[in-house]
Amino acid sequence: RRHFQLWLNRSAVVGPMVEAILDEEGVPRELLYLSMIESGLNPKARSNVGAVGAWQFMPGTARGFALTMSWWVDLRRDWEKSTRAACRYMTRLHDEFGDWSLVRAAYNGGEGRVRRQLRDNGHDNFWDYRLPRQTLDYVPKFIAAARIGSDPTAYGFSVPEGDPLSLEKLVVHDATDLALVARCAGVSERAVYDLNPALLR
């Protein structure tokens, strides 16, 4: 409960931006909750197997969707770019599997596993598939998160009052100290760092 309230609080800040991108990319808005259960809507999240960002991209998948990872930057931690990459990935999975439960299972447990289950079972009913426990739990967790998120008070959660994330993009043409950017913008260094989680240096 404590964790989920924190996730709801974060959703009040980043949710409107993420949902706008989901709309633009033509995928269901409720996929916001996939990021919620993947990372708690934390762009700096890192799993013990090397998945990074709010959408928990593994390096190979990230490269396949043009998310640069270098000494300077990790675009898996960039809200806009990683969300668009996640949308493209889920659209590709939906084009193949045709079912959003299977998309979520493939996103979590790997498309190869879901492909084999589809082939071996001859149907697309996720609930009858034999998958790892983590993946079997993943779809119900998503459903629970989406239900609670759509009506928090019905489940005893407080509706968060956060200021939705609002930012302007600034193009710099050379290495620039973020402290200087903050000073010129008249905001704190912390604010600039928080708005640019993909910048490692």
Residue 165 is predicted with a pLDDT of: 84
Q: How far is CA 53 from the centre of its chain?
A: 7
Q: Which residues pair with 46 in a beta bridge?
A: 52
Q: What's the whole-model pTM score?
A: 0.92
Residue 159: how many other CB atoms lie within 10 Å: 10
Q: Which of 19, 25, 30, 38 is catalytic?
A: 38
Q: Is the separation of the CB atoms in 68 and 39 below 8 Å?
A: no
Q: Is 38 an active-site residue?
A: yes
Rg (CA), the chain: 18
Residues 44 and 148: their CA atoms lie apart, in Å, by 24
Average pLDDT over residues 139-155: 95
Is pLDDT of 151 > 90? yes
- The CA distances from residue 13 to 20, 44, 55, 62, in Å, are 13, 16, 16, 25
Residue 2 is predicted with a pLDDT of: 92
Residues 49 and 59: their CA atoms lie apart, in Å, by 10
